[in-house]
Amino acid sequence: MSTIYAFTTLLVIFAIGNVVAEKTKALLSTVFVCVVLLLIAFWSGLPANILSYSFIQPLGIPMAGLLVIGVGSNMDLRGLIKQWRTLIIAVVGALFGVVAIMLIGQVFLGRYMAFVAGPIFAGTQVATLMLSEAVMDNNMPYLVPFILLIFVSDNLLGIPVTSLILKKEARLFLQDKARVKKYATITEEVVTEQKRLIKIPEILKTPSGVFARIALGASLSFWLASLTNGHVHFLVVCLFMGVLLGEMGFLEREALKNSKAESFVILVVTLFVFGGLADTTPTMLLGLFLPLFITLGSGFLGVLISSFFLAKALKVSPYMGMAMAASCSYGMPATILIPKEVSDAVGKTDEERTALKNYMVPNMVTAGFSSVTFASVFIAQIAITLIFG
């Protein structure tokens, strides 16, 4: 297959995934649709090495580094400190979900399958990429389809569960008329730009200049990771580097978006993750549904029980706490879409709908960012260390 045909085929599959995700309001995510289409395509004769033909294969890890640098630069440490209760509930809830999967999973699935399942339950493309790369490097390719199945399936349960919990929370919230009035009149906080150590000249703020600075951060991260002799993953260093460069002023907020390359980077990383699907057979896939059920069941059990009691201890509504913790199974954009849809469905007046959105959306966005984007990378690193040393 020629490069242009291979690349176009993958672009069309990714575009269809985006359209379906938008039409279903993220219930069927882009990655889920891409997996289904790629499996059908592979079983119908699509070349197994299409990623190599399209030149996505060699770009996968470098693009993942750029993506994580961009994510890290978006992290507002001061804002996270202000929402420390949300941060604790989201991260601890995700951790309990991962631990539950590892403990229960070891009994029914075996150690290796249980330990790779946990971080994927609470992770994104980055955690999936880290675990997939680790199992391939350690001659365990049979685990890759299971990793990908968890990655694309947990949001199918997480989104409706969160929606039900938030509807209960919304009805309780509306009973307190004083809170409704308070949140309905909240205006967007004016953010004062903090002074940074580094001031970037205007000539380097062009899209190409921003992209080059992100790449420099990724390159520095790769060099630092190499000094650890593989004990710390390149992408973990990238996350720290992104936060550091963002705080110093070397990278602005939304750096990857400002580079105009965000869509391409996400495209490459997402499709690169799915390279392991080429060797997945229908029989193999059917055999993974029971392990998937055990993983999701134990994961959500750990998340919901722990966040319920933790929220009570921190004087946060237990329903809000459970919803925030459950965001580890899907992340953006569902963390914005779900509370907005619930607000519109439960609120009877414009005042009620506005109050509900002002109350729920910031909490859900912070929770998803804390667990899915930040904590999952470290959980994946810990799991890799525990499994492979």
DSSP string spanning 309-378? HHHHHTTS-HHHHHHHHHGGGT-TTHHHHHHHHHHHHH--SHHHHHHHHHHHHHHHHHHHIIIIIIIHHH
Mean pLDDT (whole number) for 212-233: 91
Mean pLDDT (whole number) for 324-350: 85
Backbone angle region of 249, left / alpha / beta, with phi > 0 → left and psi within -120 to 50 → alpha: left
The alpha-carbon radius of gyration of the chain (Å, integer) is 21
**Mean pLDDT value across the chain:** 87
26 falls in which pLDDT band (50, 70, 90)?
A: low
Asked whether the predicted pLDDT for residue 218 surpasses 60, the reply is yes
Mean pLDDT (whole number) for 39-50: 89
- Across 178-192, 211-225, 271-285, which has the greatest mean pLDDT? 211-225
- Please report, for residues 146, 153, 222, the alpha-carbon distance to residue 149 in angstroms, rounded to integers and kept in the order given: 5, 6, 29
pLDDT at 195: 67
Dihedral, CA of residue 190, residue 195, residue 200 and residue 203, to nearest 10: 40
What's the CA gap between 256 and 262, in Å, rounded? 5
Dihedral, CA of residue 31, residue 33, residue 39 and residue 41, to nearest 10: -120
Of 311 and 27, which is predicted with more confidence? 311
- Across 31-40, 187-196, 209-218, 253-262, which has the greatest mean pLDDT? 209-218
pLDDT at 88: 92
194 falls in which pLDDT band (50, 70, 90)?
A: low
Six-digit token pair at 306? 């722990």
pLDDT at 300: 93
Q: What share of the chain has pLDDT > 90, as a percent? A: 33
For helices 350-368 and 84-108, angle between their N-to-C axes, nearest 10 degrees = 60
Asked whether the predicted pLDDT for residue 68 surpasses 80, the reply is yes
What's the CA gap between 349 and 325, in Å, rounded? 28
What's the CA gap between 76 and 86, in Å, rounded? 14
Q: What share of the chain is helix, strand, coil (3-state, %, to 5)?
A: 80, 0, 20
Sign of the alpha-carbon torsion through 203, 204, 207, 209: positive
Please, are residues 144 and 35 in contact by the beta-carbon 8 Å criterion? no
Of 5-19, 99-113, 183-197, which range is least confident? Answer: 183-197
Six-digit token pair at 95? 């951790």
pLDDT at 187: 59
pLDDT at 148: 85
Asked whether the predicted pLDDT for residue 305 surpasses 90, the reply is yes
pLDDT 10s digits, 159-190:
888 989 999 999 999 998 998 898 888 755 54
Sign of the alpha-carbon torsion through 70, 72, 78, 82: positive
Of 222-226, 243-247, 277-281, which range is least confident? Answer: 277-281
Dihedral, CA of residue 221, residue 271, residue 149 and residue 31, to nearest 10: 100
Mean pLDDT (whole number) for 82-106: 91
Asked whether the predicted pLDDT for residue 7 surpasses 70, the reply is yes
